Structure 1
Amino acid sequence: MTNPYAEIFRAPGAKGFAAAGFVARLPIAMESIGIVAMLSQTHGEYWLAGAVAATFAVTNALIAPQISRLVDRYGQTPLLVPATTVSVLAFAVLMVATHLRWPIWTLFVAALFAATMPSMPAMVRARWTEIFRGRPQLNTAFAFESAADELVYIAGASLSVGLSVSLFPEAGVLASTLFLAIGSAAFILQRRTEPTVRPMQGARSSAILLRPVQIITFALVFIGVIFATAEVSTVAITKELGQPGAASLVIGVYAVGSFIVGVIVGALNLRMPLQRQLVIAIGVIAVTTLPLLVVDTVPALALAIFGSGVAVSPTFITAFGLIERRVPAALLTEGVTWVMTGISIGMAFGAFASGWVVDTFGAQNGFWVSVAASIIALLTVLIGQRALADDCDAPVAAICGPAE
């Protein structure tokens, strides 16, 4: 039997841009937590650390889709070079300002400019799409990318915090910035796999105006809520059970479950329509949030968390597959970035909501946020089945291709 993953890497240049893209995306998991670890040690104030990190995260969530929109219009290299350069320099200023105890306002200004960091997962997926558009190998490529995202989240946050604590406060942000600079440079230099800039038919619009992008992005906001809730509630429950050190292991199990199933799904060539696959995946997520409400031991929590993670990668794979099918090629990078942004926004909101629930009603009740979020996500994709089954909706039909 042919290994589908080996097959996708036979494409010229695939190994190079995939490896560079993996390094360049490590900052996604490292920068925000690295800022918190850095400033909490140097300034001793968690509110400041959280505020600066939130400034970076929220601004990046707003700017990244605009950068991707320009990438679709002018190409990856003309946008990635200045955007990455500004971000790297801003992170350098942030580290210097922290070390030299510059005025607090300089930390926020540096975080604002650092937020020009592009969405590297979107750039990598755009290259896979350029190679395998309309072919079954694209599903395998998206599965690989989802698995790579899981590895980033498994390793990135722990590495950032570990470096800051064991070496010096700025170490996590420094490592992350170096990954961004080196990975992005290696990625940009590989010009032969860069997607072709495709002209629009009719007036150029924004991907977020397309109904499928709106539906998928909204649904994945609540998937992001589930991610954050799993982390916050796990930390609270393990602490309540007297085993706070087990939190990182349990959270790692969550990502491992998603990684394993994602790899398996990527090797399959499923014939079911993608919009139905998305319903099933989110339905599984909804069902598997229920056991989390009754766990009362760390082993039971780890098992329930593992089960809750099994449908995460399939959800990502089908979501990005739908974006590739339902968004015009000239808007693809922006479309993917909006979905990634939805996840980030959901994680920020989920951390706040679950934290409030845990503080108000107790650690165990934090998982009710996951239950509610999964129901909203499921209802969203159920109601949006017709729009997801079509190439585009009527108001933007002029810029979409023919129906399948």
Structure 2
Amino acid sequence: MSSPYSAIFAAPGAKGFSAAGLLGRMPLSMLGIGVVTMISQLTGRYGLAGALSATLALSAALMGPQVSRMVDRHGQRRVLRPATLISLTAVAGLLVSAQQRWPDWTLFVFAAGVGCVPSVGSMVRARWAAIFAGSPRELHTAYSAESVVDEVVFILGPILSIGLSTAWFPEAGPLLAACFLGAGVFWLTAQRATEPVPHPRSAHTGGSALRAPGLQVLVAAFVATGALFGAMEVVTVAFADAQGHKAASSLVLAVYALGSCLAGAVFGLLHLKGDPARRWVLGVCAMAVSMIPLQLVGNLPLLAVALFVAGLSIAPTMVTTMALVEQHVPRAKLTEGMTWTSTGLAVGVALGSSAAGWVVDAAGARAGYAVPGAAGVLAAAVAFLGYRRLRPAPERAEASVPLARGGSDAYDGKDRHHRTEQSDHDEQHLA
């Protein structure tokens, strides 16, 4: 019997755009830590390195949704290629200015320009949504597969970025991240058959996708969730350092991502029924509860076990989040809606890492785990308070589903494209 994963990847073009998405997402976990490693090696100024990393994150948080909004209107190819070229130019300027010891303000200018980097994960998920519109089981499996890809990126990316910058030359990590971004985006946008058809300006009435009440709840919860992730990374590095094994922190954090990766793979095999909003609330609460053992760990082996267990709730919650975005955001703004969740995470990571660093400096590494614990409680509170906004999901007409440019209707055999065209023809006739 074929698995659900083999079934979704049998869709024409699916393997190609998913592979391109993996490549294009590598900078997500490589660029920030690569800049920190580069600046600390070149100047020894960790304060400057941290400030530049925060600038990168906040710039992407501000510009990412705007780039995705233009993608919904004009298509992935027309928007992503120029945006990526701007981002790559900014990365090049950042590397040159750091290597040439230009004034600090030039570093921040170029770091801000890097924020044009597109949310490649949102672009890939939008393609899955176009292919499997009206097929919730297949879409659930596709989102699970992408969640696994996210975790693979966060397992491999920091190892590559830090390893190259320390073993080769300081700029190697960010340089490789830029190469991955350019290759991944241009490969993805070359695949026109699976690109979602853009929506005309008339379909974008009502302002930003963030005006959807359900999306507001998801983004608010993701700010708290991002704070949990950001704090977890900082505190774990500090804890390993306090134990005398700072280098082991990357392995411990990889175990955290591995737990999420395995859970995401299994979650994609399940055919779940019932209210996804309730499932999402349970997932957020599970993430909060999984922070309790971290307050009690006293050594790295126990920490690794606790983080593996904590990681099990991440991917299923993320998959359910994407399903809720797909339900609550108008189809014409789907890519923007997905990107807003990434923006929430980025803002939360910046806040959580800063708060965790302050607590570690003031009270020690073990006390620092109170920060992700508090962030988890906050995320659970937001989920409970916003539950009513997430159900029932608003209903949308079948004709509003953004199909891919070609191939999807031939794959699923349901002739959705024909029915959409017929609906458009009927509307024109009535007009």
> How does the TM-score come out when normalised to structure 2?
0.89
Indicate the residue corresponding to 1:197 in structure 2: 198
Indicate the residue corresponding to 2:38 in structure 1: 38
Describe the superposition over 1:276-327 as per-residue Cα deviations: whole angstroms up to 9, x where unpaired: 1111111211111111111112111111111111100011000001001111
Task: Report SS of the residue matched to 1:192.
Answer: coil
Q: CA deviation at 1:41?
A: 1.4
Q: Hey, what's the Cα distance between the residues in 2 that align with 1:130 and 1:166?
A: 43
**Matched-pair contact (CA < 8 Å) for 1:21–1:124:** yes
Q: Hey, what's the Cα distance between the residues in 2 that align with 1:368 and 1:50?
A: 22
Describe the superposition over 1:209-238 as per-residue Cα deviations: whole angstroms up to 9, x where unpaired: 111111001111111111122212212222
Indicate the residue corresponding to 2:184 in structure 1: 183
**Matched-pair contact (CA < 8 Å) for 1:211–1:392:** no
> Residue type of the partner of 1:193?
T
**Matched-pair contact (CA < 8 Å) for 2:203–2:332:** no
Q: Hey, what's the Cα distance between the residues in 2 that align with 1:49 and 1:370?
A: 23
Indicate the residue corresponding to 1:157 in structure 2: 158
Indicate the residue corresponding to 2:173 in structure 1: 172
Q: Hey, what's the Cα distance between the residues in 2 that align with 1:130 and 1:194?
A: 8
> Residue type of the partner of 1:373?
A
Q: CA deviation at 1:191?
A: 0.7
Q: Hey, what's the Cα distance between the residues in 2 that align with 1:40 and 1:202?
A: 44
Q: CA deviation at 1:388?
A: 0.7
Q: CA deviation at 1:367?
A: 1.4
Task: Report SS of the residue matched to 1:193.
Answer: coil
Q: Hey, what's the Cα distance between the residues in 2 that align with 1:160 and 1:242?
A: 23
**Matched-pair contact (CA < 8 Å) for 1:97–1:106:** yes
More moved, 229-238 vs 58-67: 229-238
Q: CA deviation at 1:369?
A: 1.4
Is the aligned partner of 1:214 residue 2:216? Answer: yes
Indicate the residue corresponding to 2:25 in structure 1: 25
Tell me how many residue pairs correspond in the alignment: 398
Indicate the residue corresponding to 2:250 in structure 1: 248
Q: Hey, what's the Cα distance between the residues in 2 that align with 1:392 and 1:9?
A: 29
**Matched-pair contact (CA < 8 Å) for 2:222–2:348:** yes
Q: Hey, what's the Cα distance between the residues in 1 that align with 2:247 and 2:309?
A: 21
Task: Report SS of the residue matched to 1:191.
Answer: coil
**Matched-pair contact (CA < 8 Å) for 2:204–2:332:** no
> Residue type of the partner of 1:147?
V
Q: CA deviation at 1:252?
A: 0.8
C-alpha root-mean-square deviation of aligned residues, in Å?
1.9
Indicate the residue corresponding to 2:81 in structure 1: 81
Q: CA deviation at 1:198?
A: 2.8
Indicate the residue corresponding to 1:339 in structure 2: 341
**Matched-pair contact (CA < 8 Å) for 2:72–2:336:** yes
Q: CA deviation at 1:113?
A: 1.5
Indicate the residue corresponding to 2:108 in structure 1: 108
> Residue type of the partner of 1:187?
L
Q: CA deviation at 1:90?
A: 1.4
Describe the superposition over 1:352-380 as per-residue Cα deviations: whole angstroms up to 9, x where unpaired: 11111122122112111122111111121
Task: Report SS of the residue matched to 1:115.
Answer: helix
Describe the superposition over 1:91-132 as per-residue Cα deviations: whole angstroms up to 9, x where unpaired: 112212222222322212211212111110111110010001
Question: 1:228 is matched with which residue: 227, 230, 241?
Answer: 230
**Matched-pair contact (CA < 8 Å) for 1:228–1:351:** yes
Q: Hey, what's the Cα distance between the residues in 1 that align with 2:290 and 2:60?
A: 31
Indicate the residue corresponding to 1:258 in structure 2: 260
**Matched-pair contact (CA < 8 Å) for 1:327–1:391:** no
Q: Hey, what's the Cα distance between the residues in 2 that align with 1:204 and 1:383?
A: 25
**Matched-pair contact (CA < 8 Å) for 1:212–1:326:** yes
Task: Report SS of the residue matched to 2:197.
Answer: coil
**Matched-pair contact (CA < 8 Å) for 1:210–1:392:** no
Q: Hey, what's the Cα distance between the residues in 1 that align with 2:372 and 2:361?
A: 16
Q: CA deviation at 1:243?
A: 2.6
> How does the TM-score come out when normalised to structure 1?
0.95
Mapping for residues 366-385 of structure 1, pairs under 5 Å? 366-385=368-387
**Matched-pair contact (CA < 8 Å) for 1:232–1:355:** yes
Indicate the residue corresponding to 2:297 in structure 1: 295
Q: Hey, what's the Cα distance between the residues in 1 that align with 2:169 and 2:109?
A: 23
Describe the superposition over 1:5-37 as per-residue Cα deviations: whole angstroms up to 9, x where unpaired: 111111111111110111011011111111111
Structure 1 residues 202 and 179 mapped into 2: Cα distance closer, same or farther (>3 Å)? Answer: closer
Q: CA deviation at 1:52?
A: 2.0
Indicate the residue corresponding to 2:122 in structure 1: 122
Task: Report SS of the residue matched to 2:193.
Answer: helix
Describe the superposition over 1:75-98 as per-residue Cα deviations: whole angstroms up to 9, x where unpaired: 111110110011111111221222
Q: Hey, what's the Cα distance between the residues in 2 that align with 1:45 and 1:297?
A: 30
Q: CA deviation at 1:204?
A: 4.1
Indicate the residue corresponding to 1:97 in structure 2: 97
> Residue type of the partner of 1:251?
L
**Matched-pair contact (CA < 8 Å) for 2:327–2:394:** no
Q: Hey, what's the Cα distance between the residues in 2 that align with 1:112 and 1:231?
A: 23
Task: Report SS of the residue matched to 2:26.
Answer: helix
Identity of aligned residues (%): 45
Q: Hey, what's the Cα distance between the residues in 1 that align with 2:187 and 2:132?
A: 22
Structure 1 residues 101 and 241 mapped into 2: Cα distance closer, same or farther (>3 Å)? Answer: closer
Q: Hey, what's the Cα distance between the residues in 2 that align with 1:43 and 1:303?
A: 36
Q: Hey, what's the Cα distance between the residues in 2 that align with 1:2 and 1:313?
A: 23
Q: Hey, what's the Cα distance between the residues in 2 that align with 1:70 and 1:356?
A: 38
Task: Report SS of the residue matched to 1:59.
Answer: helix
Task: Report SS of the residue matched to 1:226.
Answer: helix
Q: Which runs of 5+ in 1 are unaligned?
A: none
Q: CA deviation at 1:152?
A: 0.6
